[in-house]
A and B are shown apart, each in its own frame.
Chain A
Amino acid sequence: MTIEQKVESAIVTFLKTQTFTDIPAAQIYRGIEHDAAESSENYTQTRILPCIVVSCPASTASDPTSGNRMVVPEISVQSQADDSTNAAHLTRCAQVFAVVATTTFAASISAALADFYCFFAVPADGGSRIEERSWASFVTMRMMVCGADIS
C-alpha cells in the first residue's frame, strides 16, 4: 500500500467510527472521485450521495533521508443538489469537518491503521464547488506522516 493509500485508508477508517446524521459508513469513500467512467453503467452506483470522499493524490518527502512524507489530503462532503438544500448540505459539512479539525485527529488516524503514523495534521484550504448536480465542499489537511508505527 502506498503512503497515499494509507493516508486515505486511515482517515476513512476513522471517519467510519464517527456518527453523522445522514451519511452512513458505507457512503464514506476513499480515492479518486469516480471509480467508473461516466459512460459506464456502474457510474451512478460508484458514489451514493450524500457521501464523504477522502482523496490523497500525492506526497512529497519531508526531508531527504527520513522517509517521512508531507501530504495534503482532501476531505470532501458531497450532496445531491436536486434533493438537498444548500443549507442542509452545509449542516452536513459542519458535522464532518468538526471531527476533522481537532487536536486529536492526528492521534486518531494514527490509531486507525497499522504501520502508519501521523505526526501532525492541521487544516489548510477549504471551499465549495459544483460537481455534476451535487454540492461539494472540501477541506484539505496539511499532514506529516510515515508508513510505520512510531512510538
Chain B
Amino acid sequence: MARILGALTTSHVPAIGGALARGAQDEPYWKPFFDGFKPVRAWLDEVKPDVAVVFYNDHGLNFFLDKLPTFAVGAAKQYVNEDEGWGIPSLPPIPGIPELSWAIIERLVASDFDVTTCQEMLVDHAFTLPLKLFWPETFQTIVTVPVCINTVQFPLPSAKRCIALGREIGEAVAAWNSDKKVVMVGSGGLSHQLEGERAGFINKPFDLAFMRSLIDDPEWAAQYTIPQLVEKTGTQGVELLMWLAARAAVPGAVREVHRNYHIPISNTAAGTMAMAAKDLIATE
C-alpha cells in the first residue's frame, strides 16, 4: 500500500515566482521567507516522497466563471503552466499520475463528493510555486495530482467540507495499491486581502493559532463559517482551506517538522509548515 509521509503547506504569492526567476532568495526582503524552506527540504531529502497531491486554488488560469467547479481533480499525464498575465517565466510541464488521480476520483464520488475531473488542466502559480519551493532542483521528479478548490466565486465550500474532502483523499491514497511515498501539499493563505478599503489586512494572532491548530486540533478552524473566515483572515486568507484539506489528508496525528511565519511577502502573511505523519514517527 502507498505510504502517506505527511503534509507540506505554504503561501503562494505570485511575486515569489518573480523572486525565484531573479534569484533574489538571499535579498533581505526575501531571505526570512525562503530560509523557512531549508529545514523542510532537509526533511524531504530524508523521507524522499515520490508523489505530491497538491490542494490549491486556481486564480483564473484554467477556470473562468463560465464553468467554475467547486472541487476539481486533475487526471492528466502532465499539467501545463502558462503565463497568468504578468510575464513571469512559466515552468516546464509537471508530470501527473492518472492511476492515482482515478483512484482518488473513484473514492471521492463513491463518498458523495461529485467532483469535476480534468484530463487537461493548466496549473497556475498556486500549484507550481510550492513545487519550486519544496523541491527547487528536482520538482520535475515529483509526480502530482492537482486538487483545485474554488476560492474565486462565493459561495465557497465550508472548512468542514474541505476537511472531509481531504480525509477521503487520504483514505484513497492509503488504499492505493502502490509502493509510492506520498506527501500532501496545501497551497494558499495565510491572512491577506487584496481588494477593497480593507486591502492589506493581516491577522497575526489568528494565523499563529491556525498553524498551531493543525498539529493539536486540526478541525479547530471548522468552527468558523466562510464569511467568518474572511473576516478573520481576509478575502484571500480564506485560502487556508487548502491547508485544512492537506492536513486532513494525513490520517491520524502528526508531528511538526518545521514552521515559519513571516510578515509580509507582498500583501501576505506568509506561512510554511511541514508535518510528519504519525506512522512515520513510529518508524523514526
Chain A complexes with chain B: no
The chain A residues found within 8 Å of chain B, CB to CB, are none
The chain B residues found within 8 Å of chain A, CB to CB, are none
